[in-house]
A and B are shown apart, each in its own frame.
Chain A
Amino acid sequence: MSEKSNHIVIIGNGISGVTCARNVRKKDREVPITLISAETEHFFSRTALMYIYMGHMKYEHTKPYADDFWEKNAIQLKSGWVSRVDFDNRLLHFQKGEELRYGTLILATGSKPNKFGWPGQDLEGVQGLYSYQDLLSMEKHTPSITRAVIVGGGLIGVEMAEMFSSRKIPVTFLVREKRFWDNILPDEEAELVGRHIREHGVDLRMETELTAILDDGAGKVKAVETSSGEQIPCEFVGLTAGVSPNIAIFTDSELATNRGILVDERFRTNLPDVYAIGDCAEFKTPPGPDRKNIEQVWYTGRMHGETLAHNLTSKNPVSYKPGIWFNSAKFFDIEYQTYGHVPARRRDGEWSFYWEDASGKIALRLLFSKADQLLGVNAFGWRMRHAFFDQAIRKGWPADKVVSRLDRANFNPEFYRDLQTEFIQAYNRETGKSLPLPKRSLIQRLIGTRA
């Protein structure tokens, strides 16, 4: 592995590429590693772009590693756009005419926002939010606007709505579905999120689609037209109807692609020594039951990078085997965590217990199989301990056991309301059971012990 000729070149310095580079370096101090990006010189946290716009942080705060980290770890940073890959000669061609030879090539090129062929989708002031350049473009196009329209009800859409409301810019939010994010969330949760978005003054239009974006005559957006025939004047349109793998430069090459770059369970593409990880990779077979062929979240990108780095530096390569699914998000002020799988529509035999507090901002759903085994959790406004539910789902704990041990799952800050007691009371009421309420002695409460 350590011969000089095996130069590892990674295209993309997002979480997948960077995690891979770091973990290869930890195992192998010699092998040359080059990280290529045209986006930013250093790795930054894409998930934090919104906070720069909102004034919570500056760009430099979003960099997880100090600028001298890369040199200290002998990870070469190369700035530039790769325009073509000559796989036969293992040569990268850059837009500016440079070339770079590789021994091993790792493609971690990420995603790009979806555009569905809407009329006017390429006007000035119409964009998605994925890259640092997208953020700069938003900064450029949104000062002194009177309204922004966001199209597509996913997580980036909510982030964009929050960004605009932090600057007191009125927002109209067009969502195709009946309830917010209801292809992922069960109805109650989708309602809860929708209510909260409206509470922040967002003009949320459900079951409304974009039909066209109108030109002001100078190539800029002046309004959108919706499926209900209405015209909404605006100076900015955010396209947030999902993302798809960023593989344009590979589609006409010998690299096998579908929606993404096709890989096996070890991230190998159809070409020798060429791998793909992160958002741009598409598994030929899903890596697990309930997992998708394309995984586009932060944590999976990290795990892809870790696993490939292991395979590149170990004599015992492994298949990518993700554990219990988890994810999280924040809808304005309401944090959301999920563990395991809670599908929007319950499948046969499954039953779930859903509790929502009086404020309508805190909720917990536990989903169980026919055999009373925990399958998944949706938590809103209630932080949960990852390790607890990882274990409970892995071991398939029955409902009573999960519910009576919720105090150990609670990850809310100290002095927060005792939600587990309220939850157990509701559970007892609804199921007719009489699980004991959690009791902690004065000593336990004073010294804060969990046992």
Chain B
Amino acid sequence: MKFIQNIGLILVVAGLVIFTAVPFLGTWQLESAQVEAATKDMHREVMVDLLAPMYGQSYGSPFAFIGDLNGYMEAHNDSLKAEEKWDQVIWDDYAFPLTKTASQGPVPAYPLLFLALSVGLTVLGGLLYILPLHRNETAGIKNDGIYFSSMKARGWLGMVTGTYLILFYVILYWYPEYLSNSVILVDPISQALSGGPASQWFLYGLVYTLAILVMGIRMFRKYRGNNYQTIRTVSVMFFQLAFAFLIPEILVLFNMPWHDFKNIWPLDYTFFYEYRIDGMVNSGALGMFMLVWGILLIVIGVPVITYFYGKRWYCSWVCGCGGLAETLGDPYRQLSDKSLKSWQIERYLVHGVLALAVIVTGVTLLNYFMKFGLLGQATDQLHSLYGFAIGSAFAGVIGTGFYPFMGNRVWCRFGCPLAAYLGLVQRFKSRFRITTNGGQCISCGNCSTYCEMGIDVRWYAQRGQNIVRSSCVGCGVCSAVCPRGVLKLENGEESGRINDLPIIIGNDSINLNT
């Protein structure tokens, strides 16, 4: 079995190496017909002329090609800006579609072969490694050696992994033209699902979904015997595959707006942006349903379901960010900071982002209903600012790239405005709590160590106090790793949920409120 697992690891590394090499394979050559096809009517004539020096020229690397392309575009725009001809400046980003269409060589010739060699090998290798995990072992806690692991305890492997993830996100969000070959790999799948070519977001969605599925299977192995973990993992796998990946693509096939029915504002911060609202309003009955369903989730779904089950119903059962954190991120859950200081930062930051999201959305809606009389197009600036700082940098680069550095819930804990909203409900009006079991705690620290949200669970457990914290996503791992059966996630009567003056059972000499 060890042999098969080692083969698996080799395949994962090989797949990742090929995946990393794909963007640089082949040559890039642009023709005027391609520019005509890839540009909007208003820019076509200018663009065809502008890029004329590139036609017929064969570039050996994407850097040279993109360098020239951007050079011509910038020179053009700079001179227009100098003349203050703002309306003629080309604001659209044509680098990605042009680089994609100009790509020649093995990748566009055999996209599925390269897909199999990169993503396919990684998935296959991952499964070969994961499926034999913990074979012939009894069901139980499988945390042996985590703090000796270079990958899981901030060793060099973890550093390399984190750096790779961060680079991937930076390129994905701000330099997608360099991923154009990678996107070509998944074009056939996109064509099959939605009938259109793939964007970098389709590639990202596919890789993201595969990560949740493969690492979800790892969760089944690791937490075998723990039904809560198993069922919860099935749930995040299902919601990612169906709601975040397949259904939106199928909607596009039927000329509907791409829509993830389980994504909720303000995590889905574009929900009330005019292009989304217009898209939904103009898509018939289903479009109206999207709008109404989305609003119902915000005003009724979140408070009511959170009242009954705590925020876990979303954060560790449904959410896509949570889904990735609970599967791909599980090996890093122990790296979250448990200090009081980080709790203070967390409260300012996460509620600050919520306030920001509410303001941005409020201004946008007001502007929308005032027929843009309030701020004109200025909300666009606001949107791109929020999208850059929160949507991309915080949620993506830091949120996932920092898994190996700061644990798997950096975004959920410090940045997610929906988590803040769910958390307020959970803290002040909910039946959910983690019950502590009388006097059984031995302060060992496993619960705090493995809390991905950085809650010092032991602080409560050792004084016999129920854990009612707005940040708790109810992953249930504290309860799983407790060696004394002290912690139980429960939905129950509100009375007695918050016991600020707990009494530890066992000492009849005195009634002591620790």
Question: Which of A's residues lie within 8 Å of B, judged by CB?
Answer: 15, 23, 45, 47-48, 51, 54-58, 61-64, 66, 166-167, 196, 199-200, 298-299, 302-303, 306-307, 310, 318-324, 326, 328, 330, 332-333, 335, 337, 383-387, 390, 411-417, 446-451
Contact of A166 among B139, B145, B435 (CB under 8 A): B145
* A322 and B146 within 8 A (CB): no
* A55 and B145 within 8 A (CB): yes
A56 contacts which chain B residues (CB < 8 A)? 141, 143-144, 146-147, 446, 449, 481
* B227 and A45 within 8 A (CB): no
**Does B273 reach chain A (CB closer than 8 Å)?**
no
A307 contacts which chain B residues (CB < 8 A)? 507, 509-510
B493 contacts which chain A residues (CB < 8 A)? 449-451
* B491 and A448 within 8 A (CB): yes
How far is it, in angstroms, between the C-alpha of A411 and the C-alpha of B482 when the chains are bound?
Answer: 12
How far is it, in angstroms, between the C-alpha of A315 and the C-alpha of B446 when the chains are bound?
Answer: 39
* A449 and B492 within 8 A (CB): yes
Among B140, B459, B476, B510, the one with the most A-chain Cβ atoms within 10 Å of its Cβ is B510
A66 contacts which chain B residues (CB < 8 A)? 339-340
A299 contacts which chain B residues (CB < 8 A)? 439-440, 442, 506
Q: Which residue of A lies closest to B140 (CB)?
A: A333
B301 contacts which chain A residues (CB < 8 A)? none
* B510 and A333 within 8 A (CB): no
* B445 and A57 within 8 A (CB): yes
With A322-B506, A450-B490 known, 8 other A-B pairs at CB within 8 A are A56-B446, A200-B138, A299-B439, A302-B504, A310-B510, A412-B488, A413-B476, A449-B493
Q: Which residue of B lies closest to A48 (CB)?
A: B444
How far is it, in angstroms, between the C-alpha of A63 and the C-alpha of B448 when the chains are bound?
Answer: 11
5 CB contacts below 8 A, A to B, read A167-B144, A321-B507, A328-B440, A387-B437, A451-B493
How far is it, in angstroms, between the C-alpha of A359 and the C-alpha of B277 when the chains are bound?
Answer: 57
How far is it, in angstroms, between the C-alpha of A448 and the C-alpha of B313 when the chains are bound?
Answer: 13
A326 contacts which chain B residues (CB < 8 A)? 438-440, 505-506
How far is it, in angstroms, between the C-alpha of A58 and the C-alpha of B443 when the chains are bound?
Answer: 14
A303 contacts which chain B residues (CB < 8 A)? 506-507, 509
**Does B485 reach chain A (CB closer than 8 Å)?**
yes
Contact A416 to B227, CB < 8 A, known contacts A48-B444, A56-B143, A321-B509: yes
* A15 and B443 within 8 A (CB): yes
Closest 7 CB pairs of A and B: A386-B438, A333-B140, A383-B485, A448-B491, A48-B444, A415-B227, A55-B145
How far is it, in angstroms, between the C-alpha of A310 and the C-alpha of B462 when the chains are bound?
Answer: 19
B428 to chain A, nearest CB (A): 18
Question: Which of B's residues lie within 8 Å of A, judged by CB?
Answer: 138-141, 143-149, 226-228, 231, 308-309, 339-340, 431, 435, 437-440, 442-446, 448-449, 458-459, 462, 476, 479-481, 483-485, 488-493, 504-510, 512, 514
* B438 and A413 within 8 A (CB): no
How far is it, in angstroms, between the C-alpha of A51 and the C-alpha of B146 when the chains are bound?
Answer: 10
Q: Which residue of B lies closest to A415 (CB)?
A: B227
How far is it, in angstroms, between the C-alpha of A298 and the C-alpha of B490 when the chains are bound?
Answer: 27
* B505 and A323 within 8 A (CB): yes
Q: Which residue of B lies closest to A412 (CB)?
A: B488
Contact A323 to B147, CB < 8 A, known contacts A61-B448, A335-B483: no
B138 contacts which chain A residues (CB < 8 A)? 196, 199-200, 332-333
Q: Which residue of A lies closest to B309 (CB)?
A: A448
B462 contacts which chain A residues (CB < 8 A)? 64
How far is it, in angstroms, between the C-alpha of A299 and the C-alpha of B449 when the chains are bound?
Answer: 22
Contact of B445 among A64, A166, A328, A416 (CB under 8 A): A64
Consensus secondary structure, chain B interface: loop
B17 to chain A, nearest CB (A): 29
B420 to chain A, nearest CB (A): 25
Contact of A61 among B445, B485, B509 (CB under 8 A): B445
* A45 and B431 within 8 A (CB): no
* A45 and B443 within 8 A (CB): yes
B493 to chain A, nearest CB (A): 7
How far is it, in angstroms, between the C-alpha of A308 and the C-alpha of B437 when the chains are bound?
Answer: 24
B139 contacts which chain A residues (CB < 8 A)? 333
How far is it, in angstroms, between the C-alpha of A92 and the C-alpha of B508 when the chains are bound?
Answer: 34
B339 contacts which chain A residues (CB < 8 A)? 66
Contact of A384 among B143, B147, B485, B504 (CB under 8 A): B485
How far is it, in angstroms, between the C-alpha of A450 and the C-alpha of B495 when the chains are bound?
Answer: 13
How far is it, in angstroms, between the C-alpha of A242 and the C-alpha of B506 when the chains are bound?
Answer: 24
* B485 and A328 within 8 A (CB): yes
* A337 and B440 within 8 A (CB): yes
* A449 and B491 within 8 A (CB): yes
How far is it, in angstroms, between the C-alpha of A66 and the C-alpha of B340 when the chains are bound?
Answer: 9
* B485 and A45 within 8 A (CB): no
How far is it, in angstroms, between the C-alpha of A347 and the C-alpha of B151 when the chains are bound?
Answer: 55
Contact A330 to B227, CB < 8 A, known contacts A61-B445, A319-B509, A449-B492: no
How far is it, in angstroms, between the C-alpha of A319 and the C-alpha of B143 when the chains are bound?
Answer: 43
B512 contacts which chain A residues (CB < 8 A)? 23, 306, 310
* B144 and A166 within 8 A (CB): yes
Contact A323 to B444, CB < 8 A, known contacts A55-B148, A56-B147: no
* A415 and B491 within 8 A (CB): no
Contact A411 to B488, CB < 8 A, known contacts A56-B144, A61-B449: yes
* B449 and A385 within 8 A (CB): no
Contact of B144 among A55, A411, A451 (CB under 8 A): A55
A415 contacts which chain B residues (CB < 8 A)? 227-228, 231
Q: Which residue of A lies closest to B511 (CB)?
A: A310
* A54 and B506 within 8 A (CB): no
Contact of B444 among A62, A337, A411 (CB under 8 A): A62
Q: Which residue of B lies closest to A390 (CB)?
A: B505
Contact A332 to B506, CB < 8 A, known contacts A15-B443, A45-B442: no
